[in-house]
Structure 1
Amino acid sequence: MSSIDDLLAVAKAYTKAEGIPLSTASWRALGDTKKLGDIEAGRDIQVRRLEKTMRWFSGNWPATAVWPSDIRRPSPSPEQAGAA
């Protein structure tokens, strides 16, 4: 699996747990309703933005949901760790 595949798998697990469309997760994580859909359609994402987005999902993961077991869960960003 590629890092992009991991991001999309995490995003889809998040949308399922939250009961929201991918566009809403995209807005929450990236501030852009279309970005995750664009990535799913084959567009690219910068490495730092991908890493930041994975940290966002990790820091905002629903308490009742299980993180996908085959994907490494990153530590939350320093801002998220400080807010906890």
Structure 2
Amino acid sequence: MRLRDQLLTVSEAYAHAVGRSEARVSTIVFGSGNAISRLRGGADMGSERLHNGLQWFTDNWPTGADWPAGVPRPARTVDEAAA
């Protein structure tokens, strides 16, 4: 699975788990409400931005929600004791 597809899969699962729209999640993660929908529509996003997005999701993944199968999960960077 391509990195872009991994991010789309994770963002969809996150939006479902927290009950937020794709646009709201896109705003929270990327500062742009249409970044994820543009990516879904075939637009390009740099690899660093994709990696940073996946890192945001892993660091902020909701407790009790399952990470999508088939998508490698990066190691957390957030200190859980400080969170």
Q: TM-score, normalised by structure 2?
A: 0.91
SS in 2 for 1:50: helix
SS in 2 for 1:81: coil
| Residue equivalent to 1:81 | 79
Distance in 2 between the 1:26 and 1:4 partners?
Answer: 14
| Residue equivalent to 1:10 | 10
Gaps of 5+ in 2: none
In structure 2, give the amino acid aligned to 1:64: G
By relative contact order (CA 8 Å, sep 6+), the higher-ranking structure is 2
Q: Per residue, is there more helix in 1 or in 2?
A: 1
Gaps of 5+ in 1: none
- Over aligned residues, Cα RMSD in angstroms? 1.3
Distance in 1 between the 2:33 and 2:27 partners?
Answer: 5
| Residue equivalent to 2:23 | 23
Displacement, 1:10? 0.2
**Per-residue deviation, residues 20-75 of structure 1 (Å, max 9, x unmatched):** 11001101111111100100010011001100110000000010210012100012
Q: TM-score, normalised by structure 1?
A: 0.90
Name the % identity: 33
Q: How does 1:65-80 map to 2 (within 5 A)?
A: 65-77=65-77, 80=78
